[in-house]
Amino acid sequence: MTTTADLFVELVAILKKNALLASCGSALSWDEQTYMPPGGAETRAEQLALIAGMVHERATQPRVGELLSELEARVDIDERPDRSVVVREARRIYSRQTKLPQKLVEELSRTTTLAQQAWVAARKASDFTQFESWLEKILVLKREEAAAIGYGQGVPYDALLDDYEPGANAAAITATFAALRDELVPLVTAISASKKKPDTSVLERRYPMNAQQAFATQAARSIGFDFDRGRLDTTAHPFCTGLGPGDCRLTTRYNEQHFPGAFFGVMHEAGHGIYEQGLDAMGFGTALGETVSLGIHESQSRLWENLVGRSRAFWQHFFPAAQATFPEALTGVGLDEFHFAINSVRPSFIRVEADEVTYNLHIMLRFEIEQALIAGDLSTRDIPGVWNETFEKYFGLTPPNDAQGCLQDIHWSAGLIGYFPTYALGNMYAAQFFEAADRQLGGLFQQFALGEFQPLKHWLNQQIHSRGKRLRAHELVQTVTGESLSAKPLLRHLHARFGGLYGLSVES
């Protein structure tokens, strides 16, 4: 008789080999965004489509279903919790993937590879019409995907959202965002009315690219990103990709007249990378070595970028090094002046450069638009107009061109529809985790001022990263913080930081 252990070993072997094959596709995707010449797009699209098809074929092979059914039927599987987690998550993925035709999977991969190249060109030309037909093709395919997966009593968008944030749905997120918006609007109004204003011109002086790269690398290394197991490169849109144990890639983009863009981009992506590097290498390919959700992943990047990287304590430690690295730009600039500048709150066009207070409004705009696109209530040709109209309503600004408007993000060209809401969820998770860490470790800001970031990094490794997918997002938050997800920690953080900087009363 075949033992439960034998069945489990066979299942894990299949999962690990499939993860290795998928990582080959990730490596090709990373190369496409960093070093591939434009002329390679057609061939790269076929390469990635081939790998996507192979991954799908292996992941949906009947033997996987047989193994899962046999393991689920065995009582003794429950006596080994880690095995139960692997089987539970493998079943979830198997059920989802077996509903998708291989032809659709391959076509999505091929189309999004070419669409990303078209997006780069369209963004450079600031011309949405160059990208419109590609987005329409992607939307048709994503609607097919949603229909194939199913969405119960919900809406098609729920099927896509579930891929990034398991268990979430558009209705619940809409309600959460509405409550958050109601609290943010008065804060934004109070900040706008404040007579205290930062001098942001100090951030728009000349910051040489090579010096930016060296300084950002130093900061990323200090907070815990291991460059012996990762690297930093340049791309059109910052991202992080984990290719497997020992290989994590960060990217950013540089503007010599805008210091925050690249620096906080690196801090953000390093947060993702620290999560990837903190996963259990032995669990690679299984739920034991995978991240919980995109919202939890974003919590790690937003935590290091904002709660740590924009804190005064962080710059108490790093500002002398910044002055030495950028003497032309920062000579004569004080710590408080610089700290106020990097925490300036004002409506801006670019999401990845937005301040903490207005950032979530950028997410809400995208969330609304992509729901309408999937539902068929919004035509692709109307996106620029609707984007600008909604942006004006939220921010009081009208984007001057498509590059600073609807073409600024890579996500739609990559087929990542349903991804954006996880950014705002990540902000809420981040603040809640940070409060818990501060309680347990005692005085995080005092540690940062001394250049001590490892206690927080190790706490995150233990409480979040090493757990893999043993807990779902809502369970993880409850376990780590003792409370269910709430926007209150984020709002407390925003009021404390920006209330102090802008001289607001508690009532404001």
Residue 235 has pLDDT above 60, yes or no: yes
Whether residue 98 is found in the same domain as residue 197: no
Q: Is residue 145 part of a domain?
A: no
Residue 5 has pLDDT above 50, yes or no: yes
Least confident of 186-195, 331-340, 447-456: 186-195
Q: Is residue 52 part of a domain?
A: yes
Whether residue 298 is found in the same domain as residue 222: yes
Share of the chain above pLDDT 90, in %: 92
Residues 6+ apart with CB under 8 A from 77: 4, 8, 71, 83, 84, 87
Whether residue 382 is found in the same domain as residue 486: yes
Whether residue 97 is found in the same domain as residue 186: no
* H helical segments located in 156-288: 156-161, 170-193, 209-223, 259-278
Q: Is residue 146 part of a domain?
A: no
Torsion of CA 260, 116, 419, 182, to 10 degrees: 50
Whether residue 301 is found in the same domain as residue 199: yes
The helix/strand/coil state of 194 is coil
Q: Is residue 213 part of a domain?
A: yes
More confident residue, 2 or 78: 2
Here the tokens at position 240 are: 């992080």
SS (H, E, C) 53-66: HHHHHHHCCHHHHH
Residues 6+ apart with CB under 8 A from 499: 505, 506, 508
Q: Closest Cα to residue 307, out of 499, 494, 501?
A: 494
Whether residue 368 is found in the same domain as residue 463: yes
Q: What is the mean pLDDT of the chain?
A: 95
Residue 268, burial from CB neighbour count under 10 angstroms (0-12, 13-18, 19+)? buried
Average confidence (pLDDT) over 336-365: 94
Residue 16 has pLDDT above 60, yes or no: yes
Average confidence (pLDDT) over 362-377: 96
pLDDT at residue number 508: 43
Residues annotated as catalytic (active site), given as ranges? 269
Domain that holds residue 41: 4-126
The helix/strand/coil state of 348 is coil
Whether residue 183 is found in the same domain as residue 86: no
Put simply, whether the predicted model's pTM sits higher than 0.85 gets the answer: yes
- Quick check: 362 and 351 in contact, CB under 8 A? yes
CA pair distance 470, 483, nearest whole angstrom: 18
Whether residue 200 is found in the same domain as residue 93: no
Q: Is residue 378 part of a domain?
A: yes
Q: Is residue 182 part of a domain?
A: yes
The helix/strand/coil state of 135 is helix
Q: Closest Cα to residue 341, out of 201, 191, 499?
A: 201
83-112 confidence digits (pLDDT tens): 999 999 999 999 999 999 999 999 999 999
Domain end (from 99, 126, 153)? 126
Q: Is residue 153 part of a domain?
A: no
Residue keyed to tokens 């607001």:
504
Strand order in the sheet with 247-252: 230-234, 247-252, 240-244
Least confident of 350-354, 470-474, 482-486: 350-354
64-84 confidence digits (pLDDT tens): 999 999 999 997 777 899 999
CA pair distance 402, 175, nearest whole angstrom: 29
Residue 394: give its domain's CATH number: 1.10.1370.30
Here the tokens at position 476 are: 């993880």
Q: Is residue 157 part of a domain?
A: no
251-283 confidence digits (pLDDT tens): 999 999 999 999 999 999 999 999 999 999 999
Domain end (from 94, 126, 158)? 126
Domain end (from 126, 157, 192)? 126
pLDDT band at 353, cuts 50/70/90?
confident
Average confidence (pLDDT) over 340-368: 94
Whether residue 177 is found in the same domain as residue 247: yes
Whether residue 32 is found in the same domain as residue 113: yes
Whether residue 105 is found in the same domain as residue 193: no
* Structural domains of the chain, count: 2
* Neighbouring C-beta atoms of residue 53, cutoff 10 Å: 17
pLDDT at residue number 506: 53
Whether residue 91 is found in the same domain as residue 192: no
